[in-house]
Amino acid sequence: MQKSLLSILFGLLACACVGQTTGNNSYQLFFKTAYQQHKSIPVGVLEAISYSKTRFKNINPITDAESCTGLPLYTGVMGLIKDGKGYFKNTLSLISAKSGISKADIVLDPEKAIFAYAKAFAVVQVELGIQSKFIENNIAVLKYLSELPDSSNGQRFALDAEIYSILMLMNNASFMGGLGYKSGKTQLKKVFGKVNLKVLSASKITFSSKKIQGNGNTYQSKVQKLCLDYPTAIWTAADPSNYSSRSGTPVSAVTIHTVQGSYAGCISWFQNPSANVSAHYVLRSSDGQVTQMVCEVDKAWHVGSENPYTIGLEHEGYVNDPAWYTVAMYTSSADVCRDIASSGYGIDPIRTAFWPWTATTHYNASSIPGSCTRIKGHQHYPNQSHVDPGDNWDWDYYYKLINDPPPTITETTCTSSFYDSGGSGANYGDDERSLTIIAPTNASSVTLTFSAFDLESTWDYLYIYDGNSVWAPLIGYYTGTNNPGTITSSGGSMAVEFRSDCSTNNAGWEATWTCVTTANTPINLTTDASGCSNSNYAINLSWANADSGWWVDVSLDASFATYWNKPVDWLTTTTCPTSFQDPFSLGALTLEPDSVYYWRIWDGTSWVNGPSFSIPFCPDVTPPTTSISNPNTWETTDFTATFTDKDIGGSLMDTVFYQVLDFDGTEWRANNGNGFYNDNFDNAIHSEWTVSTGVWAINGGYINQSDEGINQTNIYTSLTQTNAEIYLYHWEANTQSGASSSRRQGLHFFSDNGALPNGGNGYFVYFRADNNRCQIYKVTSDVWTLELDTALVVNENTWYDYKILFDPTTGSIKTYQDNIFVGEWIDSSPYTSGNAAFLRTGNANVLFNDLKVYHARTSMETILIGPAATNDVRYQNPNPSTPSCRIKSIVKDNAENWSALATLNVNIDWTPPSDVTVSDGLTTDVDTICTTTELSANWTVSTDTQSGVVRYWYAIGTTPGGTDIINWLDNGTSTSVTQTGLSLTDGIVYYVSVRVENGAELFSSDISSDGQVPNSLIMLASADTTQITLPDSIIVFTDSTSGVVQWLWSFPGGNPTSSTSQVQTVIYNTSGIYDASLTVTDANGCSVSFTAMSYITVSDP
């Protein structure tokens, strides 16, 4: 174990010291999505954990070799431990339990591994009550999820070394910058302490059994109780005064308690330092929730003199009310016991108390059960006055839940002999549990007759059930020589379970069984083939009666020359085509519309035919739906948009498109260099358009080509188009009345030279108003060829919605008018790229509107943001309420139905708020303050045009940026603060640091004040005497306070009555008792006042 510890220790330190890089991180999209799903996780910590453990490699336990040192193999991209070999924690099981994602998925799928770790991190934050995103406040979570143990000084050093490496990565500008994050500013001294930090950062470490040294310092471990013995438990520590060490006593038993109160009350009570009681686990009645309060390695105080060797489970409720003992709590409690039994303590779950007398038996009265029983109630231990869990605890049920199903023998013959494990000539064994299920084929009842019966009385039992499992109704239980005699089941099966204890075995039993059988045949064969379908259809086949060895055949041939089949033992219904076999190699069975199918059942002796069925075809006329989601209110870096598409009509989805727009402060446009285009033609013809021929102008919010006399017009724009995408070109057009008999309008796309009359090489589509045609053309070397000519009604002075769908890979060009499919032409040699598109008319006055270009997508697309010309979104919000990003989605199914357009606006801000200037004090900057209990600061107003300033954070420390006095606190939108309740030291410089957060959760730089020093005055004043007797009348008052420049004395009854001198002689002429007061002020303006009540006594002689 020392070699394993040292190996991982120096591996961790090496990781912390090298120049970090993000390496080959191909999973960054998954990490960023995880932060979007769980906003409480400190940004960068998931990558730091992955990098420190696996260097972003998805380690496969099958193909990756284990260490030659025997170090357990890390698995998956997050470096989780599957088998810690009794030393490391099994973190794969822990993460799976906390996240609900299977261990197999975590190991094999990096995306699920990252999402599982993130979910577990967030769950543990909630369980530990951590609400901060700052990593220094999440150290407990890192320790909880680490595989490293922390029982010894060396183990705690290794764990600190792992956390040190993670924090160093998060503080490293190169590492974090490579991930697209700002580097952290974690105060490592605060996390580890000054001495330990020097050891952790040392280039050379001396490691011995007694101490760990580096940089001339000795590592001082800090013990923090944080256990995860049962992975799905919530950890809430009992007060340390309520438990103690086991002092080396091994765990060998589990004690079952009842709280006699509530779950929450019990948890709270164990945290009461005066309670002097605790248990390892507390369980809730309603849902079985488990809270661990004492580590299993420690001794909880729950069963008096038997505490040293037991683990205690407290169950919510009262012993006299069985309603508290719910199935959920039984199940959860049994799972905890199973976990304890598998933890290497040597507790055999079969040694759980189960006897019929268990609930009503108390050790102090009967001295049973003894030490052989390892899982039992409080009432079953010596020297106890408690009776929990009492008469209502179902020990038989609990025993079955804790123990795996016993070794089972299933008998299917109608008659045979039945013996215990010793057979006819020997005794059965100790610690046995066995199950025999007698279920003869076609049996309607089973009769079991015992000819001999001899078990150890009181301790060994035979249970007989009316059915095929231990959960069937209990017929009876038997012990000693209480022969069961003859027993008959009510159905076709009987289960016989035997349990023996740890010592003393007898001869057992001899028995025989017989059965009554009935022959079954299928009748009343029916189907539920109603309605229609066009894909993925299923039908239920049903019949009456059931038996073993039955099969269902389904065929397209009434003679069943070939067919698909499926076993249906003991079933009376089955779904077709699910799980049907293919004995004739016909291919998988699918039900096709308008085909006739035949089916029959084989009952072992004959075929019984069912009614034939067919599936009518349903045309799909229902549009699909699409929606867009993004979990964040603001985006500051590239982000992932998620699209949800649903086919309603059953023809399945064909092609899905999206478009990204950005708002430049005036209008919405799109990056044509990325294959998107958007122009609403609202104000003016934009500069990227070039008029080649025609008279083009903006007219009433449309672009209008008004010259009917020109045969071919052309206004073109640049647009990047490649064969890596499928494109959707979408616009509206209205052909005006005119004298020409050949009016036409359309779009030219995939052009490689928009300046040429026909675009060089490319395609265009014309919609003709006079001829009522839709025409698709291919252009080669600026010469066009008509490829498709389809009839289509195009009325003049009518607005139409037009779409062209082009797949450069297949060459398919489809056209649509008002979402109705018009025609398709497939180019066998499609062009692979284009750089322009243009609107064109011929002999027509045409209005165009809302030209959009979309391209195909997946269910998740990364949206690129930033000022670079290559990004999808090149502008930030002009103000907090006006988004600068708009994402659109539109989809089409295989029946040519188009969805409605879905739109999502996204707020964009990649600029942190402006830095502030911090001054000490509430107005002008001060350097000295006159108190040690509070300090103040104020700062200039920060500005943030895009998302606005939402809060200021402040911290106080003894160094610029330090947080050792006050960690970062939210100050709202106020630009000044007075922190009270402090305990400052005179002469020490204190700095107030301020950071600004905007609405997008971006932070300004941390700016510190130039510092302020407390200088509290301690008054040292005195009188040469306090008692005089007349005629003596003179008293001299002197102030010796250091640094004072101003004095103000008050002498009631004296002469003078006040003074501003450091030393003042006062004359008292009248007897009496008098006060004296002094206020002193130093050069920094700090003052202190004091009144000595009844200080001077003047007496008559």
779 & 809 share domain:
yes
Is residue 596 predicted with pLDDT exceeding 70? Answer: yes
pLDDT band at 185 (very low <50, low <70, confident <90, very high): confident
pLDDT at 224: 57
Question: Can you tell me whether residue 540 is helix, strand or coil?
Answer: strand
Do the domain assignments include residue 224? Answer: no
Q: How far is 966 from 956, CA to CA, in rounded Å?
A: 5
- Domain shared by 387 and 418, yes or no: no
Distance of CA 452 to the CA centre of its chain: 60
> Which CATH number characterizes residue 926's domain?
2.60.40.10
Classify residue 67: in a domain, yes or no.
yes
170: which residues sit within 8 A by CB, 6+ positions away? Answer: 42, 44, 45, 48, 135, 176, 183, 184, 186
Tokens (6 digits) for 1100: 């008559």
Residues 609 and 730 in one domain: no
Q: What confidence score (pLDDT) does residue 7 get?
A: 39
Answer yes or no: is 855 within a domain.
Answer: yes
Q: Quick one: 395 and 251 in the same domain?
A: yes
pTM equals 0.50
Q: Is the pLDDT of residue 530 over 70?
A: no
Same domain flag for 151 and 40? yes
pLDDT value for 363: 87
pLDDT at 1055 > cutoff 50: yes
User: Is the pLDDT confidence value at 912 over 90?
Assistant: yes
Range of the domain at 487: 408-517
Residue 767, burial from CB neighbour count under 10 angstroms (0-12, 13-18, 19+)? buried
- Indicate whether 931 and 1050 sit together in one domain: no
The count of structural domains within the chain is 7
Rounded Cα distance between 251 and 247, Å, is: 11
What mean pLDDT is predicted for residues 1008-1022?
Answer: 92
- The confidence score (pLDDT) of residue 1016 equals 84
147 assigned to some structural domain:
yes
At 16, the pLDDT band (50, 70, 90 cuts) reads very low
Residues 379 and 412 in one domain: no
Both tokens of 221, joined, read: 């471990």
Q: Which of 370, 402, 434 is the last residue of a domain?
A: 402
> Tell me, what's the pLDDT at 18?
37
Q: Calculate mean pLDDT across residues 85-94.
A: 88
| Mean pLDDT of the region 200-228 | 70
Q: Which tens digits make up the pLDDT trace of 647-658?
A: 988 788 999 999
pLDDT, tens digit (0-9, with 9 covering 90-100), for 377-407: 999 999 998 999 999 999 999 999 999 989 9
Assess contact for 70 and 106: CB atoms under 8 A: no
pLDDT at 1080 over 80: yes
pLDDT score of 470: 96
**Of 285, 280, 283, which Cα lies nearest the Cα of 270?**
280
Q: For the segment 125-141, what is each residue's pLDDT rounded down to a tens digit?
A: 988 888 888 898 899 99
> 3-class SS at 230?
coil
At a CB cut-off of 8 Å and minimum separation 6, what does 365 contact?
none
Residues 1038 and 973 in one domain: no
Q: Residue 216: pLDDT above 80? A: no
Chosen domain end from 402, 424, 442: 402
Given a cut of 70, is residue 68 above it in pLDDT?
no
Average pLDDT, the chain: 91
Whole-angstrom distance, CA of residue 898 vs CA of residue 894: 10
**Is there a single domain that holds both residue 128 and residue 157?**
yes
Whether the predicted pLDDT of 20 surpasses 50: no
pLDDT surpasses 80 at 940: yes
CATH number for the domain spanning 144: value is 1.10.530
Model pLDDT, residue 183: 83
**Would residue 489 count as lying in a domain?**
yes
The predicted pLDDT at position 531 comes to 67
Residues 742 and 835 reside in one and the same domain = yes
The pLDDT score that the predictor gives to residue 17 is 36
Residue 97 predicted with pLDDT over 50: yes
Name the burial class of residue 569, with classes exposed (0-12), middle (13-18) and buried (19+) by CB atoms within 10 angstroms of its CB.
exposed
Q: What is the pLDDT of residue 919?
A: 97
CATH of the domain at 591: 2.60.40
CA distance 940 to 635: 27
* Nearest partner of 252 among 173, 308, 320, judged by Cα: 308
Provide, rounded to the nearest whole percent, the portion of the chain with pLDDT above 70. 95
- Do 541 and 677 belong to one domain? no
701 is written with which tokens?
Answer: 């919010």
Asked whether the predicted pLDDT for residue 781 surpasses 60, the reply is yes
In this prediction, residues 160-184 reach a mean pLDDT of 88
Average pLDDT, integer, range 504-517: 94
Q: Where residue 753 sits, what CATH number does that domain have?
A: 2.60.120.560
163, 186, 218: which is the final residue of a domain?
218
* Whether residue 476 is found in the same domain as residue 437: yes
How high is the pLDDT of residue 19? 40
**Residue 226 domain-assigned?**
no
Contacts of 166 (CB under 8 A, 6+ apart): 45, 48, 49, 52, 142
Distance, CA of 719 to CA of 725 (rounded, Å): 13
Burial of 632 (0-12, 13-18, 19+ CB in 10 A): middle
Which helix (DSSP H) or strand (DSSP E) does residue 432 occupy? none
Residues with Cβ within 8 Å of 497's Cβ and at least 6 positions away in sequence, in order, are: 406, 433, 434, 435, 462, 463, 464, 465, 470
Task: Write the pLDDT tens digit of every residue in 604-631.
Answer: 888 999 999 988 777 888 999 999 999 8
Tens of pLDDT, residue by residue over 956-1014, are: 999 999 999 999 999 999 999 999 999 999 999 999 999 999 999 999 999 999 999 99
- What's the average model confidence in pLDDT over 359-375? 91
pLDDT tens string 826-844:
999 999 999 999 999 999 9
647 found inside a domain = yes
What mean pLDDT is predicted for residues 355-364? 92
Residue 968 domain flag: yes
Task: Report the candidate in 181, 177, 213, 178 with the shortest Cα–Cα distance to residue 198.
Answer: 213
